[in-house]
Structure 1
């Protein structure tokens, strides 16, 4: 199995187990993307630590960090493309126009 995700032809989404997940904004510089991914991973680790320590306040704060990193990466929040195409994030591929591409 490849370590590289499968992308839709327009590279707006990665496909994971038949579901579309919005890809990061390709307009981000490599440095910015790396920094944001590092923050995302740190925040995800903080979620795990807070859960193991049964600290709901720390978990909530860590989840906010995860969300903020994902918005900054373009994976959540406003779409990063500007052609008016709808967002199919989290939709099953088979229920989107991408179904005919695979």
Structure 2
């Protein structure tokens, strides 16, 4: 599906709701590397939850946050 985007390319619209896009200024190779890191961090969250490990969960969630921020360019 192809969703409409805002003029600045930072958001796309689905059912009237804005969703943040990847920073359009990122090179494709950089974007792919950041997505890979973000997905690894999300898997780490799942593993920490399954193991009921609060310390690992906190660290994994911080990695998810950092990966998200890096990807969208905040």
Rg bigger for which structure? 1
TM-score for the superposition, normalised by structure 2? 0.83
Structure in which a larger fraction of residues adopt helix? 2
Alignment of 1:44-63 (within 5 A): 44-63=42-61
Q: Deviations over 1:3-28 (max 9, x none)?
A: x5x24232211335543221111111
Which residue in 2 is equivalent to 1:9? 6
For structure 2, list consecutive stretches of 5 or more residues without a partner in the other structure.
none
Q: Do the aligned partners of residues 55 and 70 (structure 1) sit closer, same or farther apart at CA in structure 2, a change above 3 Å counting?
A: same
For structure 1, list consecutive stretches of 5 or more residues without a partner in the other structure.
79-102
